[in-house]
Structure formats: C-alpha cells, structure tokens
Amino acid sequence: MSETAWTIAGSDSGGGAGVQADLLTFHDFGLHGASVVTCVTAQNTTALTDNHVIPAATVRAQLEALWDDLAPAAIKIGALGSPDNASAVLEFLSALPNDGRPFVVWDPVRYASVGGALGVLSDDTIDAFLRHVDVVTPNAEELADTWNIDPHSPAQAARLLRNRGAERVYLTGGHGNTPGVDHWESAECSFAIRGDALPGRGAHGGGCSLSSALAAATVREDEESAPVLAHMYVHQGLRAIASRVGNPGAGRPPLPHLGWPGDAEDLPRVVDAGRDIGATFPPLSHPIGLYAVVGSVDWVRRCVELRVDTVQLRVKDLPAPALRHAVAESVAATGGSSTRLFVNDFWREAIDAGAYGVHLGQEDLTDADLPAIAAAGLRLGVSTHSYYEIARAHAIAPSYVAIGPIFATTTKPMKFAPQGIARLRRWVNLLKPRYPLTAIGGIDVERVSGVMASGVGSIAVVRAITEAADPAVAVADLRAAMHSDHADVR
C-alpha cells in the first residue's frame, strides 16, 4: 500500500488550518503528505483578509503531476475555492480506477473558522461529491447550512446524509471539533464517540485536522478504528491548548500536532447506537496473574491444583444441561481456592452458578445483558483487538481488558492480524492507567518475557499448559518467565 496521503485544500498563511494542518497531521501518522492547493488565503487566528483562488487548470495540473508519481492511499478534500475547482476535483475522482482506489475523506468546509467564505458550491455539486467520496465529515453548522439538516439528533442526521448518497458519515459536535459527542454512521455500524469535555474555545484548524487524521488513520488501521483515532488526535491537541499558557495568536489558537495519539486521557468511549449501558462492574480482587483458558471442568480442577491465578472456562457446543453442569462444577472446583474463574460467553449460566466473572468477546457485548451481569456482582472481562474495540470496551468500563492476538494463533479463526509487541506496548500505555490487562494469542514460554516487558502485567495462554507434556512444569516455567529480569509485572 502507498505511504502517501494527499490534501486537496486551501493554504492558510497562519499555519493553523488547510494544507498546513493536513500535512502536519499526515506526518504524525507516518505518511508522506502531498498537496493540491485550491486557494491561497491571507488569514491569522482572528480573521481571513484575502482569498486568491487557484485557476482550475492549475488544480488539474497538480492532480495529474501527483498521480503520475505519488499516487495516494488516502485523500482529504477541504476548501475547494470555486465551482470550477470543484468540477476539476470531481472529474479526477470519477476517473479513479476501482483497483487500488484511495480512500477519500471530504470535509465540506465553506467558511474559515475565523470567518470568510472559502467557496460556495451548488446543490448538484454537493450531491455529486457525496457520491464520489468514502466519508464526509460535517460539523453541526455545516449540516444546517449546506444540507438544511437539524444536527440535534446526530444519528438521524447522519442517516439523512446517507440517504442523500454519502457512504459513510463522521458528524462532529461543533466547528473546531470541541470534544463532546461525535457520530459515525456507515452501512456496517453506527456509534457515538464520546470524549471528555475540555475548557476553552476549541482550536483553529480542528476540523481540518480531524478529517486529515481520519484519512491517514484509514491507511494505518481498520475502518472502524479510524474515526476513534481521528477523535483522539484532535482531543490531544485540544487538551494541550487547555493546559498551556500563551498559545499562539489572539484568537482561537492553532491545533497542536503532537504525534500518534496514545494517552489514556484522549481515549473516547464508543457507544453503539441506542445502547447506553449504565452498569458498574466490580474490580478484580487480585491481579490477573497467569491466566489459563481451558475447555473442560477437568482442566479447571487441574489449574486449581496447580494454583493458576485465573482460569477461564471456554466450552462450545454443549447441550444446555451439560453446559449448566460444567459451569456449576467449575464454580465448585474453584470455590475456596486462590484461583478465580471466568466463564466465557455464557453469562446466564455464570450468574446462576455464582461464578467470579464472565468474559465476553466483542460480538457477545451486543446481546449480553450487561446490567444483569453487574447487578449479580460478577466481574467482566472483555476481548479487544483494535482501537475501536478498546474504545467500545472503555464505554462499558469492564473489570479487565484482554488484548490480542499478540502472535499468530490457531485456537480459533481471527479477524485481526497478530498485534506484535510494539502495538501491545502502545495499547498498554493507553489502557493500563485505568484497567488491569492481560495479553493473549500465541504466547509460549519463550515469548513470555518479551510480552511482560510491555508492562501488560498478565499473560493468558490456551495451549501452553493444556498441551504441555508436563503441565506442572509448564506452569512453573511460565511463572518464572513472567517474573524474569526483563518482565514488567506492575
């Protein structure tokens, strides 16, 4: 895949918005940024005083030159300057090949955040752009001004835009993207992105940076994670503004560009449309420690004998009576021991048997009665494999979070590629201030020390114990590796 992203937008002499903000954002996501300049503005943090529109022929020449040598993986489109420039860009988009087509994000900006028009488009042109881009990122004011859509119901507004032809919609809470509630809508999913509110007036270039971060994030992450990362990227800049003394300019300061977002304070809560949980899960009574995932009551008993810290009963395809019996017997086996039992997926049976906790995958979160689990006093563990899933788990505030797969695994089909140690370390930094963590997926004794060095605090194993020639030796070796000089068991 190409490591290049384009911005098709205006130049901001103040350096806070337009192509200047976009190129800084692309750099922070590790991409080479290229630009097609549509207009050159004279502006600072308080006013736009002049706007020189680049001729459409020059816009076409820029597009052709870049396509010949620096084909992009993603394109962000901002201010177009004129109807002629809009036509030139539409012609380019309509001619893009389906094979290897870049992901296109359109920020439908009509006015600079400091005031002043940046180009007015006809309704037909606006509708044509909706059909030729992959996602549109209006704020509430743009929804009302451009489409005459009431922004007070974000999910409904996003659906109306999709009915107009938009494939995906990222609706931001306000001009400049002051954190609050944003909304993502596509054919596959619909969710709110809730960030912590910050003091201040927002930032100059916040909307530009959000749309370019969204474009860049689609190159680096899965589609559902891209809007989460874009939100985090803008939030970290706004948080920096709120904590600074002496920001640049007399107006709203330019958004700081601070690299890949990785601070726990910037992690939003992703809430599925129409699903507020309103439940509080108990904390863990002890560290997770060595975590064994097993497929039978006999293996639960064996783990208790071996004093494994935490065990998960993961059984499949049992008739209902046998399932209830297996869960009840596992609860009895761990009763009075130092081993804590989590039941995978079967939350009703876990509640009935009085298990220590339940572990749910992302698919199960949709159907499980989370308030009932919390009301029963059970702990909740949640599997995560992406930024989207991490933010979705964060909205639920589980008792612990599992991260994986760290390495390739054959225990079950996986939607996501192995994460690796570097990504694990990034997610530990993001989550550990708030949640106990365990790493899972392809971990054997030789890999334990490297995994623990990430600071994750716990490892979960599926085959390293149950398929060992001597499980007792395997447990001892895993424990020793977890507490080696290179491991971090904080």
Question: Residue 298 in contact with residue 329, Cβ under 8 Å?
Answer: no
CA–CA separation, 490 and 256 (whole Å): 32
Amino acid found at 216: A
The reported pLDDT for the residue numbered 175 is 40
Q: What is the dihedral of CA 470, 472, 477, 478, to 10 degrees?
A: 110
Please tell me the CATH superfamily of domain 290-482, with its number: Aldolase class I (3.20.20.70)
Q: What is the pLDDT along the chain (490 residues), one digit of tens a residue?
A: 789 999 999 999 999 999 999 999 999 999 999 999 999 999 998 888 999 999 999 999 999 999 999 999 999 999 999 999 999 999 999 999 999 999 999 999 865 554 445 557 888 999 999 999 999 999 988 888 888 888 888 889 999 999 999 999 999 974 444 446 899 999 999 999 999 888 877 899 999 999 999 999 999 999 999 999 999 999 999 999 988 767 788 888 999 999 999 999 999 999 986 677 778 999 999 999 999 999 999 999 999 999 999 999 999 999 999 999 999 999 999 999 999 999 999 999 999 999 999 999 999 999 999 999 999 999 999 999 999 999 999 999 999 999 999 999 876 667 788 999 999 999 999 999 899 999 999 999 999 999 999 999 999 999 999 999 999 999 999 999 999 865 554 4
Query: What pLDDT does residue 180 have?
Result: 67
* Beta bridge partner(s), residue 111: 117
The full DSSP string for 388-431 is HHHHHHHHH--SEEEE--SS---SS--SS---HHHHHHHHHHHH
Q: Where are the domains of the chain?
A: 4-272, 290-482
Residues near 203 by Cβ (< 8 Å), separated by ≥ 6? 16, 176, 177, 209, 234, 237, 238, 241, 252, 253, 254, 255
Q: Give the C-alpha separation, 321 to 68, whole Å.
A: 65
Query: Taking CA 166 as the corner, what is the angle to CA 161 and CA 169, rounded to the nearest 5 degrees?
Result: 70
Q: Please give the Cα distance from 125 to 37 (Å, whole number).
A: 19
Alpha carbon distances (Å) from 119 to 21, 112, 187, 409: 19, 10, 30, 53
> Is 4-272 a domain of CATH 3.40.50.20?
no
Cβ density class 279-304: b for 16+ within 10 Å, e for less: bebeebeeebbbbbbbbebebbbbbb
